[in-house]
Amino acid sequence: MKKNAQVIIIPTPGIGNLVPAVEFAHHLIHREHRLSATVLVIPIPHRPQVTAYVNARAATTEVQFLHLPPVDLPTPDQFQTSLGFVSVLIEKHKAHVKDIMADLVSSTQPDSVPLAGLFIDMFCTPMIDVAGEIGVPCYLFFASPASFLGFMLHLPTLHAQLATDSDTELTIPSFANSVPVQVVFPTGLLNTNEDRYTWFLHYALRYRETKGIIVNTFLELEHYALDSISSASDIPPVYPVGPVLDLHGPARWDLMNLSLEKNIIQWLDLQPAKAVVFLCFGSMGSLSGAQVREIAKGLERAGYRFLWSLREPPKTKLELPSDYANLNLEEILPDGFLKRTAEIGLVCGWVPQVSILSHEAIGGFVSHCGWNSILESLWYGVPTATWPIYAEQQMNAFEMVMELGLAVEIKLDYWVGSDLVLSEQVERGVRLLMDGDGDGDGEVRRKVKEMREMSRVAVEENGSSYVSLGNLIDKLLATI
């Protein structure tokens, strides 16, 4: 079928950003058949998952993928943190992106159709310049919550305040409560000498230059944060279109994981309903050996059935965590732990999180609070205990526990290098998560169940996110 218009999407090459951006593109062209979509994939070293995901997803969607040619990698003097590395890498692709976009809209192409919009994600703001040069409207696709978007939009103001005060509590428009400094600026984000902070500030300043901001959230979940953003006069229109989820899950990315998944699901099939606590810290999350042993002790004492995705910390700052070999697993866990818990627990590596969360045996989720994970757990009605590690996860955890009452707290301000969370805390958190207020059906569990229904209604016909996506499509088609 001949399309009337096309869109281009440029996501940051990391699973947490790439997957929701691709799913958004998929939703967009399914909803509006006059649109086609092309995702430009930025090549990146040390991230084999990115290629595996793109190859697998390309076979099951009409979204096109175009791999950008490699560039010279950022040199050590150009970055300090992995975010700095990725940011410099993205900037280096500006020229390629401009050539490709010019080519796609060129009238000499036989089936060229007008370009209705360029969608960039939170770290791809350099491409705003490219869109400007070619004369295409640029939109931001934001894969983190509206609360964090509100924080980013407020960051330049906060930056000016922080230079003069040393408050311990911060007022942020998208949060109803004041937020402790250590939740807002963990892992040295406050360290203004580090490139991560400079980059965040740089991105935050540019979001206002876009024609609209698409957020992977829904009105019923983040009413307060979304209202606070829409009521500001100088911010582009916001379109909450979520939850946008990849429900087929990473297990399909390669066959080795598929057989692993089968073993895990078989084990879960043998467990009673809602009896298993699932621990998983995300595609980039790993913990020190000492911390792993505290968790093990806490889990053993809490005595619940558990499924624990445990990963080995990366060797360098640009690599991702990897799975432990069996031998190392014995070494890192307390003596005899695997033997003693063999009846109630399973320790595994990288897992297909969606297939696990959707299993009826899962009764609770100890999570790093990455936004995709939170949306997935709400979709399946699984209550969460918070254990944030990196990025904006501490703020997500704060929102879930303090603002929305949708999670219980193990920790709100944990970060790589902070004090150990002791086994007593782990035990208490897991009990609270699995037992609620004693009858296994506490306030948090009840609210999560309600939110599960609301998340599904939001994306159905005439639901809030459905309507919002329709408004965006109208705007896209009106500009060509």
Residues forming the site for ligand NAG (CB under 6 A): 461-462
**Minimum CB distance to ligand NAG smaller for 267 or for 466:** 466
Instruction: Tell me the closest approach of the beta carbon of residue 450 to ligand NAG, in angstroms.
Output: 20
Sign of CA dihedral 254, 257, 258, 259: positive
In the bound complex, what is the minimum distance in angstroms from residue 370's beta carbon to ligand NAG? Answer: 32
Element (H, E) at 40: strand 35-41
- Angle, helices 127-134 vs 94-105, to 10°: value is 30
CB closer to ligand NAG out of 193 and 462: 462
For residue 219, the minimal CB distance to ligand NAG (Å) is: 17
Using Cβ positions, the residue closest to ligand NAG within the complex turns out to be 462
CB nearer to ligand NAG: pick between 11 and 463: 463
Q: Mind spelling out the 3-state secondary structure of 394-425?
A: HHHHHHHHHHCCCEEECCCCCCCCCCCCCHHH
Residue 204 beta carbon to ligand NAG: minimum distance, rounded to whole angstroms: 37
Query: For residue 230, what are the CA distances in angstroms to 125, 173, 239, 275?
Result: 21, 11, 10, 41
Residue closer to ligand NAG by CB (options 32, 294) is 32
Q: What is the largest CA-CA distance in the chain?
A: 69
Query: Among residues 231 and 462, whose Cβ is nearest to ligand NAG?
Result: 462
- Give the chain's count of helices (H) and strands (E): 19, 17
Q: What angle do CA 13, 359, 387 make, to 5 degrees?
A: 55
3-state secondary structure of 385: strand
CB of 454 to ligand NAG, least distance (A): 16
The rounded distance, in Å, linking the Cα atoms of 308 and 422 is 17
Shortest distance, position 463 Cβ to ligand NAG, whole Å: 9
Rg, the chain, Cα only? 22
Q: Which is closer to ligand NAG, CB of 73 or CB of 467?
A: 467
> Least CB distance from residue 251 to ligand NAG, whole Å?
32
Q: Which helix (H) or strand (E) holds 119?
A: strand 115-121
Q: Which is nearer to ligand NAG, 367 or 465 (CB)?
A: 465
CB closer to ligand NAG out of 128 and 467: 467
Whole-number minimum distance, CB 466 to ligand NAG, in Å?
9
Asked if 175 contacts 147 with a C-beta cutoff of 8 angstroms, the reply is yes
